[in-house]
Chains A and B, each alone.
Chain A
Amino acid sequence: MLNTYVVYVENKPGVLTRVASLFRRRAFNIDSLTVGRTEKPEVSRMTITVDADHDQARRIEANLYKLVNVLLVENITHQPAIVRDLAMIKVAATHEARSHVLELASVFRARVVDVAPDSLTIEITGAEDKIDGLLEVLRPYGVLEMVRTGIVAMRRGKSSTLGSTTGPDEGVPEEDVSHSV
């Protein structure tokens, strides 16, 4: 099954390579990986989805923790979470089809971000299945180009708290990496 991890890493050169290399090295296949800034400039946040069974999922987490630059790993697969993917879809839209496409976009609460004589570009944000749904109904009109970001995810309600930056002398107490409400 698909497992979704939220991984906090140090914002340092080469960390993305280390994480990606780990999945390749251990023969786990990444379905999606996104990385970006967080509220702390020294911390980056990744959302990674991987196809893995229960034991593999545990080993992925343990192996991620072995990377020195990884701060916190959360497997949010079985937790209430907001999961979002963003897609831009360029659809062939001739004069007669244009109004149909616009109608479909509005049903899916997607936005038209570019209009050209023979195409429309639609931006949609949402869970992956919602985007898949829009894609399916647009396909008959002719999808000329599409790009998706891959998912970003955040747990509902309680937030993850990263411990303060500590050296090895102090260590990182368990509480600092646990989840506070």
Chain B
Amino acid sequence: MSDKSATSKSVTVKSMSGASILWECLEREGVTSVFGYPGGAILPAYDALKGSKIHHILVRHEQGATHMADGYARASGQVGVAVATSGPGATNMVTGIATAMLDSSPIVCITGQVGSKLIGSDAFQETDITGVTLPITKHNYLVTHASEVARTIREAFYVARSGRPGPVLVDITKDAQQTICEFDWEAAKPQLPGYRPDLSPEPKEYEQALELIHNSKRPVILAGHGIIISGAMNEVREFAERAGIPVALTLLGLGAFPASHPLNLGMMGMHGEAWVNHTIQEADLLLAFGMRFDDRVTGNLKTYASNAKKIHIEIDPAEINKNVKVDVPLVGDLREVLHELLPHVESIDRSEWLDSIDKLKGDAAVRDIQNLPDSGHLYAAHVINDLWRETRAGDAIVVTDVGQHQMWEAQYYKHEKARSLITSGGLGTMGFALPAAIGAKVARPEAEVWVVVGDGGFQMTLCELATIVQEKLKVNIAIINNGFLGMVRQWQEFFYERNYAATPLLNPDFAKLGEAYGIRSMTVTERSQVVPAVRTAREHDGPVLLNFRVEQEDTVYPMVAAGASLHEMIRRPSKIVETAEDE
């Protein structure tokens, strides 16, 4: 390998092309795999790939590359890398970048750009991708000289993973890849004089927070994605146990606190458990841990937890008082803030509060469906609950798409560990699951990876089945196939007088499609077949596609309508239970 001498300490400066410097820097940042798609303006980089130890995974669409990098990052906590050419290659990345931005996922996207002399001339495959991605990246760079490559890559990785993580795009002109220049890793230190990722609260803010905690009779912890990003799972658990405070989770927080823990209430928000939303509305103190009061978890802000004081532990100061006015903000890394708080947290008996929540739990309509007798109908809840029962003992990662199946997964799959659920929360990107699962499998090859995806979202990125086969990845795919864009249909059912405009789907035979890619595939139509199919998939040495033909017009309950108060939930009518036996 031509670059080998550059890694030894004796030779620190070496003449290399910008393209070789790129791969060398990625290696030094710890990158072992990248997801990409070649093209004209990035060809010098691909030519230099042969001298690198990095494994390149050829995707079928650049959007897939970004979701794979995102899935890689979420499964491992390491920065994921996607590579594409200029113009359409770069613009195809936009959805994946926006997805990573909204969910604070650290990815670095490398794009080729036309030669620096051609910039601004509307050259073939020229797009101002730094301009296009300005509002959806944490930061981005246009590199026009080979001498800037090393520092830029180092800065990109540092910015992507530090503070509140996010996507960084590095656009490198073709000539910057081709030019030979001196490479000196040590001298190419990041220079970011204005970047402050390491904030911490004032001592008096800690005191104010502790006073609120100790005076609270009805506190709730709102556990978000920040716990997982910060790696604060143990600290949150210790905090909750010591203070006797129950924990409600956001969608992206699932796994941050064990589902089986007695203090775990479950998911909050639009499709959260009814008792969780009631608990939040009745609380006198909310402890928001690494979450951002998204509209999907608060409902109507005017009536949201109106009797509660709020403590917000959050790394991004721009999130403070954005949606919900808080009494005490603690701006900093969650794990570090909890380390400061923990020694001062008093053990308080809150059994009265916990008992009152238990009473609310008695009302568990949302669970009815999983306990229904087998009447021949196959519900998505059955599939997901059976999948959970079969895989719970192992180290499974479930990667979900967006829509009804995503909410049922959140309700019926019990996540015990952080990074065991990967899903697009903030942007709600259909087509995310399949490529993100590929990224997760590459990041953690030892883990059992399941894609849970709707028939709509699956068809947005199904071309990546070829990537699974080419890379020989053991990824299992469960299509929750109801022949509808189910969540949109549900909104039409509730809010548009059942006018199912453009939501019924005429689908191909997904099992035949899977077979065409060389993937073992099965169609499942009955509840009794679910467990055998899941077992077959787990035992098979290679990817498996399971096409679950589920009830067409099933609905996710409970539901807080957009803009409604959090306690105003649409509940599952008991009639549905009868329907299962009637029809």
Residues of A within 8 A of B (CB): 9-10, 13-14, 17-18, 21, 25, 55, 58-59, 62-63, 65-72, 163, 165-169, 171-172
Q: Which residues of A contact B325 (CB under 8 A)?
A: 55
- Would you give the shortest CB distance from B143 to chain A, in whole angstroms? 12
When chains A and B are docked, how far (Å) is the Cα of A22 from the Cα of B317? 15
Does A10 contact B194, Cβ atoms closer than 8 Å?
Answer: yes
Asked if B11 is an interface residue, CB under 8 A from chain A, the answer is no
Contact of B158 among A17, A65, A168 (CB under 8 A): A168
Does B193 contact A165, Cβ atoms closer than 8 Å?
Answer: yes
Does A68 contact B317, Cβ atoms closer than 8 Å?
Answer: no
When chains A and B are docked, how far (Å) is the Cα of A163 from the Cα of B194? 9
7 CB contacts below 8 A, A to B, read: A62-B316, A62-B317, A66-B318, A67-B194, A68-B138, A165-B191, A169-B189
With A17-B131, A168-B192, A168-B195 in contact, is A59–B318 under 8 Å at CB? Answer: yes
Mark B134-152 against chain A: 1 for CB-CB distance below 8 A, else 0. 1100110010000000000
With A18-B134, A68-B139 in contact, is A172–B193 under 8 Å at CB? Answer: yes
Q: Which residues of B contact A14 (CB under 8 A)?
A: 130, 142
Q: Which residues of B contact A71 (CB under 8 A)?
A: 193-194
Q: Which residues of A contact B131 (CB under 8 A)?
A: 17
Asked if B367 is an interface residue, CB under 8 A from chain A, the answer is no
Q: Which residues of B contact A172 (CB under 8 A)?
A: 193-194, 196
* Further pairs besides A68-B159, A68-B195, A171-B198: 17, Cβ < 8 Å: A10-B193, A13-B142, A17-B131, A21-B134, A55-B321, A65-B318, A68-B138, A68-B139, A70-B194, A71-B193, A72-B194, A165-B191, A166-B193, A168-B197, A171-B196, A172-B193, A172-B196
Q: Which residues of A contact B194 (CB under 8 A)?
A: 9-10, 65, 67-72, 172
The interface residues of chain A, by DSSP majority, are classed as: mixed
- Would you give the shortest CB distance from B362 to chain A, in whole angstroms? 40
Does B189 contact A163, Cβ atoms closer than 8 Å?
Answer: no
When chains A and B are docked, how far (Å) is the Cα of A18 from the Cα of B135? 8
When chains A and B are docked, how far (Å) is the Cα of A168 from the Cα of B325? 32
Does A167 contact B190, Cβ atoms closer than 8 Å?
Answer: yes
When chains A and B are docked, how far (Å) is the Cα of A149 from the Cα of B318? 30
- Would you give the shortest CB distance from B84 to chain A, in whole angstroms? 21
Does B190 contact A168, Cβ atoms closer than 8 Å?
Answer: yes
Asked if B302 is an interface residue, CB under 8 A from chain A, the answer is no
- Would you give the shortest CB distance from B136 to chain A, in whole angstroms? 10
Asked if B320 is an interface residue, CB under 8 A from chain A, the answer is yes
Shortest beta-carbon contacts, A-B, top 8:
A62-B318, A71-B194, A62-B317, A68-B139, A165-B193, A25-B135, A63-B318, A167-B189
When chains A and B are docked, how far (Å) is the Cα of A142 from the Cα of B130? 46
When chains A and B are docked, how far (Å) is the Cα of A94 from the Cα of B383? 88
- Would you give the shortest CB distance from A36 to chain B, in whole angstroms? 18
> B136's closest neighbor in chain A, by CB?
A25
Q: Which residues of A contact B193 (CB under 8 A)?
A: 10, 71, 163, 165-166, 172
When chains A and B are docked, how far (Å) is the Cα of A51 from the Cα of B515? 60
With A59-B322, A68-B139 in contact, is A168–B317 under 8 Å at CB? Answer: no
> A165's closest neighbor in chain B, by CB?
B193
When chains A and B are docked, how far (Å) is the Cα of A132 from the Cα of B131? 37
When chains A and B are docked, how far (Å) is the Cα of A77 from the Cα of B103? 34
> B139's closest neighbor in chain A, by CB?
A68
Contact of A167 among B191, B197, B320, B321 (CB under 8 A): B191
Asked if B528 is an interface residue, CB under 8 A from chain A, the answer is no
> B158's closest neighbor in chain A, by CB?
A168
- Would you give the shortest CB distance from B353 to chain A, in whole angstroms? 31
> A24's closest neighbor in chain B, by CB?
B135
Does B158 contact A21, Cβ atoms closer than 8 Å?
Answer: no
Q: Which residues of B contact A62 (CB under 8 A)?
A: 316-318, 320
When chains A and B are docked, how far (Å) is the Cα of A171 from the Cα of B162? 12
